[in-house]
Amino acid sequence: MFLDDLNDKQFEAVRATEGHVRVIAGAGSGKTRVLAYRYAYLVNELGIDPANILCITFTNKAASEMRGRIAKLVSSEHVNDYICTIHGFCVIFLRQEIYRLGYPKYFQIIDEEDNKALAKEVLVENCISREEKTAEELLKDFGKWKYPGTYVSNYLLTSSVISEEVRNDLNVQLLLKQHKYLALDFHDLIYFTLFILKTNEDVCKRWQRTMNYVMVDEAQDCNDLEWAVFETLSEFYHNLFIVGDPDQSIYEWRGSRMESFLRFKSDKDIILDRNYRSTSTILDAANSIIANNIIRIKKNLYTLSNPGTIITHFHGKNEQEESDWISKRILKIKADGGEFSDNAILIRASYLSRSIEQSFLRHNISYVVWGGIRFFERREIKDALSYLRLIAFDDDVSFKRIANVPSRKIGKVMMKTLSGIADEYHCSLFAALKFMNDHQSPKKDAVNQFVTLISDLRDLQRTFTVSDLLNYVMKESGLLNCYRDDTEEERLENLNELLNSVKLYEEDHREDEISLESYLQDIALYTNADYSKNKNQVKIMTIHQAKGLEFPNVFISGLSEGVFPNRRSVRERKRKGMEEERRLMYVAVTRAVKSLFLTESEGFSVHGGFNKYPSRFLREIQQNLFVTEGMIDEDVWRNAEAFRHSLDIEINTKTGVGSDKINVGAMVIHDHFGEGVVTKMYNDDQYCEVDFQQIGVRFVSRNKLSLKELMELSDSENSSSLAIPNYLKEIEDRINSL
């Protein structure tokens, strides 16, 4: 049987097909294998139609990998579009259902840069200077304003009757601009999907009955509304299979809700704790670090492999000494038969790469800064895709971007004239340009050629493939000639890579009906990680970028208290921030396969404004697991403890975790008295009567208490211990508001 190569817990997870199942999958424990094999088991053994299985992944790269794995286990016709990201599913859903909101099937998907361009337009139209408000600030406000999703019914469905007073709101103006271009950002994809599901009972039931089985990867990193989508879709059959690791939850700062994973009311919990990636020494280090967190599901990763090499900690007197030690160690690895590409430098923040990069240049070490500029965010790529978008959607954002790429002398005066024509005749800027060109004598050659080109291309898209259309655009628009200069060789290579990616897209979708519109929608979901090149280079990346990756040798650099754990993060989010920092360290350590190196240095942190001392995370590792190189005085350790203590005081001062949510009945933690339950509030709720488990009733200040938001679950406990009385009430309220 094809399941024979699974271990016992993987086998159990694959065969757990019915009900709510939660798999707590430790780092390197084979969660992707479990998801792929479970999909294959449903198809091969149970005979489930793949059209009734939804498999949600966290990234497009993960979806591609998942489809590849599944294709080896089932026949090719059983691999479909329902193996995708949550945004990918929403695009599929909205292509069928968005007409209910008055949008066409092939709507636009716009990214952050396009949104920024629209935000700038709003500010200019309202005579608001950059000193008063930036486009970035408006977009931040816009995101918060959008969050409940009520804007769909309040504004988009009633745009013609919005009062002038409301139209003065900058957020409303930006929303209406998006609506004018029939453009959706990534948040809209989810909001619109939820709105349709919540307001159309027949649609909801049809999709619920279609999705017999819903599987979600990296569920601990999903936000409230993402949870709402797959929970809604699974309501009819109640077959929801979630996989994740709360110890690797590192995106709470951007909205992920680990609590939703921990509070999940499962019928069955399975813990995958056997690691197939790292040595036992590395795993013991990771286990000893993460054990210091309170809010987690207890597990202890183990491996059947040998202990491997001992971990090396290096202490430098300054950043240069630290960086040069890294360089020399990498050169030694290469001299011993390794490759540069075997090594990854993981840092807490991108600014920490500077010293390392300078050292690598001095030592002639080939390296790449991972994710420096995303492929689809590069200027030349945006230009080429804007041509395609102008052809497909006739949108003004794309027109403004490429009207003068290459230069056609369409200046501010002409653009203002075009805007006036567009407003008067309720048409696009390109239509206004075509109108002006048709009635102008003599015609400007460059403008006339541009109008003719776009018009011809709109006719050609009916018969041309997307790749042929792109090739034609790049040649005939003059785009390639813009970058013919020797200094722009990289941009030409990127354009050629874009063309190659389109051809690969067409090859992967040769069984489907491919249109220019569908390609633009799909490609908008991709990131740089999906098209990264595998070169023999040392990789420098932030720990967040390293999530899901592994490397033979890992260097965690900049391990100074206040830098990592990050002082600002801890100050802002208190204990929650500290626990997320520790999870980040856990992720970093578990990227290593064979060797782990931990480095830090003395000196002054310009970014943090403090002297640097070794991170607490070094002290949390069992001392027998690593050796220290470099001269380190005992005073340094004492100062490190004092600095750590000062940060801990900040964590525990006045605003403990969730102190604003503490009320009668809340489970709380006191640093000295331990856990207890609040039985009474008094003195304007500043003081609490608490029944502590160990010592009984005490009267303490509310500021000295932290909310114990979640119960721990050990290997021997079942999921019922995680049941929380007011389960996700906040989420339910938000969804009900739709």
Q: What is the DSSP string of 165-220?
A: HHHTSHHHHHHHHHHHTTEE-HHHHHHHHHHHHHH-HHHHHHHHHH-SEEEESSGG
**320 is annotated as an active-site residue:** no
- 319 to each of 71, 324, 355, 357, 368, how far by Cα in Å? 48, 8, 7, 12, 20
**85 is annotated as an active-site residue:** no
Q: What is the CA 8 to chain-centroid distance, rounded?
A: 32
- Among the listed residues 522, 529, 540, 488, the one whose alpha carbon sits nearest the alpha carbon of residue 377: 529
Burial class (CB in 10 A: 0-12, 13-18, 19+), 682: exposed
Kindly report which listed range (289-298, 334-343, 679-688, 699-708) carries the lowest average pLDDT score: 679-688
Q: In whole angstroms, give the CA distance from residue 334 to residue 341.
A: 10
**Do 109 and 91 meet the contact criterion of CB atoms below 8 Å apart?**
yes
Reduced 3-state DSSP string for 303-356: CCCCCCCCEEEEEECCHHHHHHHHHHHHHHHHHCCCCHHHEEEEECCHHHHHHH
Tokens of 529: 């990680």
Reduced 3-state DSSP string for 279-300: CHHHHHHHHHHHCCCCCCECCC
Tokens of 685: 């709720």
- 290 to each of 189, 301, 349, 580, how far by Cα in Å? 35, 11, 21, 10
Tell me how long the chain is: 738
Average pLDDT over residues 538-545: 92
The three-point CA angle 459-460-466 to 5° equals 130
Q: What is the CA 188 to chain-centroid distance, rounded?
A: 16
Q: Do strands 367-369 and 311-316 pair parallel, antiparallel, or not at all (unpaired)? A: unpaired
Indicate if the pLDDT at residue 278 is higher than 50.
yes
Phi, psi at residue 328, to the nearest 5°? -65, -35
- Among the listed residues 257, 241, 267, the one whose alpha carbon sits nearest the alpha carbon of residue 54: 241
- Return the pLDDT at 657: 42
**235 is annotated as an active-site residue:** no
- Among the listed residues 525, 529, 544, the one whose alpha carbon sits nearest the alpha carbon of residue 186: 525
Residue 54: count other Cβ atoms within 10 Å of its Cβ. 26
- Give the model's confidence band at 636: pLDDT under 50 very low, under 70 low, under 90 confident, else very high: confident
Indicate if the pLDDT at residue 712 is higher than 50.
no
- Return the pLDDT at 137: 87
List 97, 114, 218, 322, catalytic entry: 218
Kindly report which listed range (172-181, 257-266, 366-375, 673-682) carries the lowest average pLDDT score: 366-375
Edge-first strand listing for the sheet containing 674-682:
696-701, 687-692, 674-682, 667-670, 705-707
- Return the pLDDT at 634: 82
Q: Which residues contact 462 (CB under 8 A, 6 or more apart)?
A: none
Q: What is the pLDDT of residues 282-297, one digit of tens each?
A: 999 999 999 999 888 8
- Return the pLDDT at 717: 38
- Give the model's confidence band at 153: pLDDT under 50 very low, under 70 low, under 90 confident, else very high: confident
Ramachandran assignment for 562, one of left (phi > 0), alpha (psi -120 to 50 degrees), beta (any other): left
Phi, psi at residue 521, to the nearest 5°? -65, -45
Kindly report which listed range (226-235, 304-313, 607-616) carries the lowest average pLDDT score: 607-616
- Return the pLDDT at 584: 96
List 97, 121, 217, 284, catalytic entry: 217
Instruction: Pick 443 or 422 by higher pLDDT.
Output: 422
667 sits in which H/E element: strand 667-670
List 12, 15, 17, 32, catalytic entry: 32
Residues paired with residue 701 on neighbouring β-strands, in sequence order: 687
Tokens of 467: 């790749």
Q: In whole angstroms, give the CA distance from residue 312 to residue 513.
A: 55
Name residue 112's amino acid: E
- Return the pLDDT at 324: 95
Q: Do strands 367-369 and 343-347 pair parallel, antiparallel, or not at all (unpaired)? A: unpaired
Kindly report which listed range (169-178, 222-231, 504-513) carries the lowest average pLDDT score: 504-513
Q: What is the pLDDT of residues 657-682, one digit of tens each?
A: 444 567 777 778 887 788 888 877 77
Residues paired with residue 473 on neighbouring β-strands, in sequence order: none
List 108, 193, 232, 248, catalytic entry: 248
Q: What is the CA 538 to chain-centroid distance, rounded?
A: 23
Q: What is the pLDDT of residues 515-537, one digit of tens each?
A: 899 888 888 776 444 444 557 89
Cα torsion 277, 278, 279, 285: sign: negative
- Give the model's confidence band at 390: pLDDT under 50 very low, under 70 low, under 90 confident, else very high: very high
**Do 178 and 396 meet the contact criterion of CB atoms below 8 Å apart?**
no
**248 is annotated as an active-site residue:** yes
Residues paired with residue 313 on neighbouring β-strands, in sequence order: 598, 628
Edge-first strand listing for the sheet containing 626-629:
367-369, 538-542, 343-347, 551-556, 592-601, 311-316, 626-629
Kindly report which listed range (52-66, 549-563, 622-636, 679-693) carries the lowest average pLDDT score: 679-693
- Among the listed residues 126, 177, 123, 176, the one whose alpha carbon sits nearest the alpha carbon of residue 396: 177
Which of 71-80, 122-131, 641-650 has the highest average model confidence (pLDDT)?
Answer: 122-131
Which of 111-120, 474-483, 618-627, 711-720 has the highest average model confidence (pLDDT)?
Answer: 618-627
Q: Where are the beta strands (DSSP E) in 479-603?
A: 538-542, 551-556, 592-601
Q: What is the pLDDT of residues 71-95, one digit of tens each?
A: 888 876 667 789 999 999 999 999 9
- Return the pLDDT at 206: 96
Burial class (CB in 10 A: 0-12, 13-18, 19+), 194: buried
Residue 47: count other Cβ atoms within 10 Å of its Cβ. 7
List 591, 612, 616, 702, catalytic entry: 591
**31 is annotated as an active-site residue:** yes
| 281-311 exposure pattern, b = at least 16 Cβ within 10 A, e = fewer | bbbbbbbbbbeebebbbbbbbebebeebeeb
Phi, psi at residue 259, to the nearest 5°? -60, -35
Cα torsion 568, 571, 572, 574: sign: positive
Q: What is the CA 690 to chain-centroid distance, rounded?
A: 40
How does the average pLDDT of the chain come out, rounded?
Answer: 85
Burial class (CB in 10 A: 0-12, 13-18, 19+), 409: exposed
Using CA atoms in the order 349, 353, 356, 358, what is the torsion angle rounded to 10 degrees? -160
**Do 346 and 556 meet the contact criterion of CB atoms below 8 Å apart?**
yes
The position carrying tokens 């004492």 is 638
- Return the pLDDT at 14: 95
Indicate if the pLDDT at residue 227 is higher than 70.
yes
List 9, 10, 22, 31, catalytic entry: 31
- Return the pLDDT at 259: 85
**Do 297 and 712 meet the contact criterion of CB atoms below 8 Å apart?**
yes
**444 is annotated as an active-site residue:** no
Percent of the chain with pLDDT over 70: 90
Q: Global pTM?
A: 0.77
Q: What is the DSSP letter of 378?
A: S
Q: What is the CA radius of gyration of the chain?
A: 28
Kindly report which listed range (172-186, 290-304, 305-319, 712-726) carries the lowest average pLDDT score: 712-726
The three-point CA angle 330-373-218 to 5° equals 80
Instruction: Pick 130 or 160 by higher pLDDT.
Output: 130
